[in-house]
A and B are shown apart, each in its own frame.
Chain A
Amino acid sequence: EAGVAQSPRYKIIEKRQSVAFWCNPISGHATLYWYQQILGQGPKLLIQFQNNGVVDDSQLPKDRFSAERLKGVDSTLKIQPAKLEDSAVYLCASSANSGTPGHYGYTFGSGTRLTVV
């Protein structure tokens, strides 16, 4: 079974530029998550999708971050404009449903490491 695919692996941009990350979840997984992992911290949920609808975006900085999952499969996370404090690893995860995560094959991708200079 293929895992959660993310691209790019690394990205370096200057502050105030824009950047986009892509995620393709495991086939058939209805729920998709984006996390931000700042160096030295645990991952923090940014947004959760169930199919193509948003379930939870309470911790997404909506003034600069946006995400979409138009066809209920792959997803894009965008930052515009980027700030220095956005430097982090952005992890995508997917699960078969949105129940208790650990019970339903919750799987993380390898992440995109963003450096804002």
Chain B
Amino acid sequence: GNSVTQMEGPVTLSEEAFLTINCTYTATGYPSLFWYVQYPGEGLQLLLKATKADDKGSNKGFEATYRKETTSFHLEKGSVQVSDSAVYFCALSNYGQNFVFGPGTRLSVLP
């Protein structure tokens, strides 16, 4: 079946540090891949997505590249801010099927 694995958190960084959150997946076919972010007390918000191999999704300084050869979709940001503190979820969806989410990675950015 489909599954998503993320690096365990929490991840604690200083402001302006480089961020990488690893995500790998197992799926049949050619799924779409997503990163969602959940700020404290809020619902999930779509951060970025990629629908085919080698696509790069980007938003708010975050980016992730769909790597089919390594079945990965790692999230990166060059310089994090305190306001980026949140829980980040990697997810996949095969066409016509619902999301499969990873367990989430909590990021804390210190000033």
Contacts and interface: CB of A to CB of B under 8 A. Distances in A.
B88 to A, nearest CB: 11
A63 B51 CA distance: 37
B44 A108 contact: yes
7 contacts: A40-B103, A102-B32, A102-B49, A109-B43, A110-B41, A110-B43, A111-B43
B71 interface: no
Given A106-B46, A109-B43, A110-B43, A100 B99 contact: no
B89 interface: yes
Interface string A12-49: 00000000000000000000010000001111110010
Given A41-B104, A98-B96, 4 more contacts: A33-B98, A40-B103, A99-B95, A102-B46
Contact of B96 (A4, A45, A100, A102): A100
Interface of A: 4, 33, 40-45, 48, 56, 91, 93, 98-103, 106, 108-111
B99 A43 contact: yes
Given A100-B95, A102-B93, A43 B101 contact: yes
A40 B46 contact: no
B64 interface: no
